[in-house]
A and B are shown apart, each in its own frame.
Chain A
Amino acid sequence: MSRIGVFICHCGENISRTVDVERVAAQVGTLPGVAFSTDYKYMCSDPGQGLLKKAIQEQRLSHVVVAACSPRMHEKTFRKAVESAGLNPFLCEMANIREHCSWVHEDRDEATAKAIEIVGMMVERVKKNRVLPTITVPVTKRSLVIGGGIAGIQAALDIADAGHEVVLVEREPSIGGHMAQLSETFPTLDCSQCIMTPKMVDVANHPRIKLYTYAEIEHVEGYIGNFQVTVRKKARSVDEDKCTGCGVCMTKCPVKKIPNKFDQNLGMRPAIYVPFPQAVPNTPVIDRENCTKFKTGKCGVCQKVCGPGAVDYEQEDQLIVEPVGAIVVATGFDLYSIEEKPKGSAIKGYGEFGHGKIPDVIDGMTFERLASASGPTGGKILRPSDGREPKQIVFIQCVGSRAREKGISYCSKICCMYTAKHTMLYHHKVHDGQAYVFFMDARTPGKSYDEFWRRSIEEEEAVYIRGMVSRLYQKGNKIVVMGSDIAVGVQVEIEADMVVLATAVQPQKGADTLAQKLGISYDKYHFYSEAHAKLRPVECATAGIYLAGACQGPKDIPDTVSQASAAAAKVMTLFAKDKLEREPIVARVREAGCVGCFYCQKVCPYGAVEEKEIRDRQGNLVKVVAYVNPGVCGGCGTCQATCPSKSVELDGYTDEQIVAMIESL
């Protein structure tokens, strides 16, 4: 016979204001199996937990129900307390009478009646709870980092410096990400490449970092501590071990006029190329779509000129399986393209700003490449259309961002600051030029940020106009920008030589596909979701996977680097243990009942169901049944609801437990 203890929490007044806790305690005290029932001001407090432990020991309780807040809040707390009193933690359940009762119902009688039912339901459930053993799994102390921008680089370096191996996977031919594209960075105006490239070299030289560039994540299996990640290393057509990085191939390649994506298509590159001179690794890749050899079979110049014979046209994609214990996702952002509407996207394009039609309407990243000393113009601000220096330049902020009707209602966070920076860089380079900025508000919270923004106005003479641009059109070689200044309530019209759009920050393309491979969740914009917005901002709800940088939401460099180091710290915390305990909520097969239909195997999202042969003493095969690998099972219970013979059961959520709850109502 069970001896259940029930503990009703007042939660200060949060529960007791609408729920008559004494009445609940008295009422559930009469339920069969309940040996002890009481109420207390704060169950989660130290004395509250002490009361619980004391009662377990003195009353020889067999099961515990704590009626308080949501189990999502304190289930762990109470299960720990119960464990320290000598009971199996899974013999403790919580009844949620705060979030699901006292906070949502005003009528005291109604709320009290409901609380009694909720507690009664959990009493019936806990009776059927079984002792669940702790499951321990080994930890593979290697980490995968996805994305080689500043976030991924920082996380990889931190983890590797702590003594653990890191596998860093980057989709592009070089690491560096967007930060390598930038000219100067706010609020200090230090050169981005000067602070970025040494870190890139550190990654390349680190004895514990294994770098895969031009590679993507193909497939992810496993769980915290024990992931198996398949990496697709795309064919580079150049043997990385043989290549010395001399670059002869690139100078000799007859195809020369391919727009270089790294330079926002302003500069040109050959068909065999490195995206930029400081690329890491400094091994070229053949862009097979534009290479004459791949298109027509003729050419082959690069192979002929390559001294070490590194060019290999036959090279194929390679699939490599890497065992890792933790994953840091740092896939970064992309800029909202307003040239074309992404197909099937809820987000609509901004045809009205003429981006893609008018050559001198560019986006912020293109301006970065123009301002960059290593960019296509050598750092001169010149118009893409005719190479002249623009004397009047208009910046438009919030293009795409904060526009609910366009499908992006969030603030992209970095544009106010980088636009201020752009006006400064412009003023430094074009002394007689004038910058105008159309803006909604200036959002500059951050260390030394507001001072920086004010400097752009007070010292660098940028003219800020509060209001949006209504129309923009080409007139001769000028762009006429019409908008309203809502601060003074007048219409303004500026004849500009160049227009720079601060387009919205969006997650990388394919962020959703990667999330599905990893089993992590994302929001409606496809930014990855953290486990808790405030208290667990770098962890995913999926254990063992962590987030760093703008893949989680728009972020500037300081925030990105902080989060990357935080993610690395989380990985190190995980790696500090040799073995991990995991929740023992896993499925088990009752072999006697299993008919071997393997429906469970078909529906299991984790591929946890294996085949197991049952043999008699003579070794003859009796039948093949399902076996759930407890290390792989995610604990969803889909198998149980599917099994036609009711032969597989999810511990902690058995039919018996659920039926007991339904029957109590």
Chain B
Amino acid sequence: MHHKEKHAFEPKIIAFVCTWCTYAGADLAGTSRMQYPANVRVLKFPCTGRIDPVFILKAFQQGADGVLVSGCHPGDCHYIAGNFHARRRFAAFRKLLEFVGVDLGRLQFSWVSAAEGGKWVEMVTDLTERVRGMGPMREFKELGLEEQWSGAIDTPELREAYDSI
């Protein structure tokens, strides 16, 4: 049994991953009984192409201290090219985040295949340790982004407004 260190600050890490590669890679880490910090919560998407950058903002706003986005390696996308679109989108999004002053150390993009359980463990461990050192993320917590949610479009008022246009 390994000796558990106590840390003053335990960051919250949210991971957005695709089903086919990274989720499966994380499963493999499990079946191989590898160990990594318990800070990460995994949200599964069909494809990195589905991951809207707004989710990353939402995660930070919701109290995440670090965010991980990971999918299939370029060229291996289960949906042919979804991850290429994702890569472009996140390249632009990173710039934007940098511009508004978010420390990019809190945000990790990477490719983890279904065969790379070890790489998943390494990435989660590295990010957790890095963010632990950076301390809590405060910037976005107060930001109200509610009105931008398409989810909110489902309210009866908005629906009516839409339908009348």
- Residues of A at the B interface (CB closer than 8 Å) are 70-72, 96, 98-101, 103-107, 110-111, 113-114, 117-118, 121, 512, 516, 519, 521-522, 541-542, 585, 590, 592-593, 603, 605-606, 634-638, 640-642, 646, 649-650, 653-656, 658-659, 661-663, 665
Contacts and interface: CB of A to CB of B under 8 A. Distances in A.
A603 B154 CA distance: 25
Contact of A662 (B23, B31, B34, B55): B55
26 contacts: A70-B30, A72-B23, A99-B29, A104-B33, A104-B121, A106-B35, A114-B38, A118-B41, A521-B76, A542-B78, A603-B49, A605-B77, A634-B79, A635-B46, A636-B77, A637-B49, A637-B50, A637-B82, A638-B47, A638-B85, A638-B86, A640-B50, A646-B153, A650-B46, A654-B151, A655-B150
Contact of A103 (B2, B31, B81, B85): B31
A100 B117 CA distance: 11
Most buried by B among A516, A605, A634, A641: A641
A562 to B, nearest CB: 25
Contacts of A606: 79-80
B51 to A, nearest CB: 6
A646 B150 contact: yes
Interface in B111-165: 121, 149-151, 153-154, 162-163, 165
B77 to A, nearest CB: 8
Tell me what chain B mostly uses at the interface: helix, strand, loop, or mixed: mixed
Given A72-B24, A641-B89, A665-B41, A104 B29 contact: yes
A99 B52 CA distance: 26
Contacts of A96: 27, 42
A659 B49 contact: no
Given A590-B162, A662-B55, 17 more contacts: A98-B30, A103-B30, A104-B29, A107-B4, A512-B75, A516-B80, A592-B165, A593-B153, A636-B78, A638-B81, A641-B53, A641-B85, A646-B153, A653-B45, A655-B52, A659-B149, A663-B62
A593 B162 contact: yes
B64 interface: yes
B156 to A, nearest CB: 14
Nearest to A592: B162
B82 A605 contact: yes
Contact of A106 (B1, B46, B79, B165): B1
Contacts of B24: 72
A636 B47 contact: yes
A624 to B, nearest CB: 16
A641 B50 contact: yes
Contacts of A653: 45-46, 50
Contacts of A101: 38
B68 interface: no
In the A-B complex, list the 9 residue pairs whose CB atoms are closest, starting with the nearest. Answer: A637-B50, A99-B30, A638-B49, A646-B150, A636-B79, A605-B80, A636-B47, A656-B151, A103-B30
Nearest to B150: A646
Contact of B2 (A99, A104, A106, A640): A106
B78 A72 contact: no
Contacts of A658: 43, 45, 55
A431 B149 CA distance: 83
A522 B42 CA distance: 26
Contacts of B154: 656
Nearest to A71: B44
A449 to B, nearest CB: 29
A15 to B, nearest CB: 11
A99 B12 contact: no
B59 A662 contact: yes
Contacts of B75: 512, 516
Contacts of A70: 23, 27, 30
B86 to A, nearest CB: 8
Contacts of B151: 654-656, 659
Interface string B10-49: 0010100001100110110111011110100111111101
